[in-house]
C-alpha cells in the first residue's frame, strides 16, 4: 500500500510532453521579452573640447584696460569688475572671442556665427580625428545646446550643412536652459537611444559669448562679463552593445531637478534689460542659497541609486531622528566619496565650487579638476564638465571601474547630475585642451589676486 501511494505521488508530478513544451515556450518568450524591453546601454565612445588659441587670451591687465577705456562703464563699475576678477579664481590664460578684444566690443550676428563655427567645428573635427571608425555619415542623432545664441537656421542645421550629415538624421537644438544644459542634452540623447536601436548620437555643448557682452552699469549683470569664456565640447554616444569594448564610459544614472515653480529660483539667473535698455544676465544674490537647496533635492534622488547600504541606513536614521525626536538636529550628509572616485562640479565660479566642496564634505583633491578648469578656461558654461573630465584623464587618474559624478547648475533653476563608469583605464591623451599645460597643474590659487 505504501509503495502504491509513492507511485501515485510520483505520477502526479509527471508532466506530459505538451505541458513541458508550453513551459519551455513561456520561458523562451519571457527571455525574448526581457532582452527586447531591457534598457539599452548608453556608451560614451569619445569626446573632444575646443582648445582656444593663444591669440584670444585676455589677461587681467588687458581686461581692465579695455574696461576703463569704454564709455559705457563708469568708474564704480570698473572697480567692481576688478574686485570680481581678483576673487574669481580665473587665471591669466582664459579666452574671449575676437569682438570682445575690440575697444569698444563690436558684437554682431556674423561675428556671433563666426565664434559658433570656430568653437563647434574645432571640437567636432578633433572628435572625428580621434574616433576614426566613426564618421559624419554614421551620425543618427544630433543634439546642440547653446543657451543665449539661437540663430536661424539653427546651430544644428549649421553642423548638418558643414559635415553633410544624412538627410534622415534627427536634429535637436536646445536654448535658454543655462549651464546645466549639457546634462539635459545627454538625457535627451539617452531617451532617443532607448527608442532607436543601433544608433550613434553626437552631442554638442557650448555657449556663444560674442552677443552677450553687457554694456551697462548694473552690478548683478556685470558678473558674466568677468566669468564667462569661450568653450565647447563634442560628445559621441552609442547604444551598440558591441561598442562596450571600444567605449571609454558607460552612463549609469542621470537625475534632473527643476525648481522653476519657485519664483526666486526662477528669477535667480534672468536675462533682462537694465534701466537704460541694455540687455544682460542678472545673477541674484540668492543664487548660492538656491543652488544649495536644489542640490539637496538632487542628492535625495540620486543617493539611493549610488550610495552603499551603510550610508543609506545612516541617512535614514538621521532623517527619522529629525522627524520624530529633534527637528533641529543636524542633517546627515552622506559620504559620496564612497560612491565616486571622481567629481566634476560645474566650474561656474569660485563660490559654486566652494559651496559644493563644503556641502558634500569633499577634499581639495576632489574639487581639483573643477578649480583648475575654472583657472585655465574660465566658466565655459555647459561644456565645463567635459574640460574637467579631460583634466582627470590628462593627469592619468582614470582607472577601469572608476565612477565619475558630474554636477551641473543652470537657469530655471536646475541642478542636473549624471554618473559615468569607466570601461577601461584611460591612457593619458597626447592632445586635447590640457596637452600643453597639464604639467603646470595643479597651481595654487590665492583667495585674492591684487591687480592694482
pLDDT tens digits, the chain, 452 residues: what are they?
Answer: 556 654 554 555 455 666 676 677 777 776 666 565 568 999 999 999 999 999 999 999 999 999 999 999 999 999 999 999 999 999 999 999 999 999 999 999 999 999 999 999 999 999 999 987 899 999 999 999 999 999 999 999 999 999 999 999 999 999 999 999 999 999 999 999 999 999 999 999 999 999 999 999 999 999 999 999 999 999 999 999 989 889 999 999 999 999 999 999 999 999 999 999 999 999 999 999 999 999 989 998 998 899 998 888 887 887 778 777 877 777 777 899 999 999 999 999 999 999 999 999 999 999 999 999 999 999 999 999 999 999 999 999 999 999 999 999 999 899 999 999 999 999 998 899 999 999 999 999 999 887 76
CA 156 to chain centre: 19
For residues 253 and 226, the answer to whether their CB atoms sit within 8 Å is no
For 374-396, give one letter per residue: b (16+ CB within 10 A) or e.
bbbbbbbbbbbbbbbbbbbbbbe
For residues 161 and 143, the answer to whether their CB atoms sit within 8 Å is no
For residues 123 and 222, the answer to whether their CB atoms sit within 8 Å is no
| CA gap 380, 95 in Å, rounded | 10
| CA gap 161, 157 in Å, rounded | 6
Partnered with residue 201 across adjacent β-strands are 141, 237
DSSP-derived secondary structure letter, 197 = S
pLDDT at position 323: 75
For residues 287 and 355, the answer to whether their CB atoms sit within 8 Å is no
The residues, any chain, with a CB within 8 Å of residue 9's CB and separated by 6 or more, are none
Among residues 399, 395, 396, 397, the alpha carbon closest in space to that of 438 is found at 395
pLDDT at position 207: 97
pLDDT at position 450: 78
pLDDT at position 25: 73
| CA gap 51, 380 in Å, rounded | 12
Amino acid at each position: 500500500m505504501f509503495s502504491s501511494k509513492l507511485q501515485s505521488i510520483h505520477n502526479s508530478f509527471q508532466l506530459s510532453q505538451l505541458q513541458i513544451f508550453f513551459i519551455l515556450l513561456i520561458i523562451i518568450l519571457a527571455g525574448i521579452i526581457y532582452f527586447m524591453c531591457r534598457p539599452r546601454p548608453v556608451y560614451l565612445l569619445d569626446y573632444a573640447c575646443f582648445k582656444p588659441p593663444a591669440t584670444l587670451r585676455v589677461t587681467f591687465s588687458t581686461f581692465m584696460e579695455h574696461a576703463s577705456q569704454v564709455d559705457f562703464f563708469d568708474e564704480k563699475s570698473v572697480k567692481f569688475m576688478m574686485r570680481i576678477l581678483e576673487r574669481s579664481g580665473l587665471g591669466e590664460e582664459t579666452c574671449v572671442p575676437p569682438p570682445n578684444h575690440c575697444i569698444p566690443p563690436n558684437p554682431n550676428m556674423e561675428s556671433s556665427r563666426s565664434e559658433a563655427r570656430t568653437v563647434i567645428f574645432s571640437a567636432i573635427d578633433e572628435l572625428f580625428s580621434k574616433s576614426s571608425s566613426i564618421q559624419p555619415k554614421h551620425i543618427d542623432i544630433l543634439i546642440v545646446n547653446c543657451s543665449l545664441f539661437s540663430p536661424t537656421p539653427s546651430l544644428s542645421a549649421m553642423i548638418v550643412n558643414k559635415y553633410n550629415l544624412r538627410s534622415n538624421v534627427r536634429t535637436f537644438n536646445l536654448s535658454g536652459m543655462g549651464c546645466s544644459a549639457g546634462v539635459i542634452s545627454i538625457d535627451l540623447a539617452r531617451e532617443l537611444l532607448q527608442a532607436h536601436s543601433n544608433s550613434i548620437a553626437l552631442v554638442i555643448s557650448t555657449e556663444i559669448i560674442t552677443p552677450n557682452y553687457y554694456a551697462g552699469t548694473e552690478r548683478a549683470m556685470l558678473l558674466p562679463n568677468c566669468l564667462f569664456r569661450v568653450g565647447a565640447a563634442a560628445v559621441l554616444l552609442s547604444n551598440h552593445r558591441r561598442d562596450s569594448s571600444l567605449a571609454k564610459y558607460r552612463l549609469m544614472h542621470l537625475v534632473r531637478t527643476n525648481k522653476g515653480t519657485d519664483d526666486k529660483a526662477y528669477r535667480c539667473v534672468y536675462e533682462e534689460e537694465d534701466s537704460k535698455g541694455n540687455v544682460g544676465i542678472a545673477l541674484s544674490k540668492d543664487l548660492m542659497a538656491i543652488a544649495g537647496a536644489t542640490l539637496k533635492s538632487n542628492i535625495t534622488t540620486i543617493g539611493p541609486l549610488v550610495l552603499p547600504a551603510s550610508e543609506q541606513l545612516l541617512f535614514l536614521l538621521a532623517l527619522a531622528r529629525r522627524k520624530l525626536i529633534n527637528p533641529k538636529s543636524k542633517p546627515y550628509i552622506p559620504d559620496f566619496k564612497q560612491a565616486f572616485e571622481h567629481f566634476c562640479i560645474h566650474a561656474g565660479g569660485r563660490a559654486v565650487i566652494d559651496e559644493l566642496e563644503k556641502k558634500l564634505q569633499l577634499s581639495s583633491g576632489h574639487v581639483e579638476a573643477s578649480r583648475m578648469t575654472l583657472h585655465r578656461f574660465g566658466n565655459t558654461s555647459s561644456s565645463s564638465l567635459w574640460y574637467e573630465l579631460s583634466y582627470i584623464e590628462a593627469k592619468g587618474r582614470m582607472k577601469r571601474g572608476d565612477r565619475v559624478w558630474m554636477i551641473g547648475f543652470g537657469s530655471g533653476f536646475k541642478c542636473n547630475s549624471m554618473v559615468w563608469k569607466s570601461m577601461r583605464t584611460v591612457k593619458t591623451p597626447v592632445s586635447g585642451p590640457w596637452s600643453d599645460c597639464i604639467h603646470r597643474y595643479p597651481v595654487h590659487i590665492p583667495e585674492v589676486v591684487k591687480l592694482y
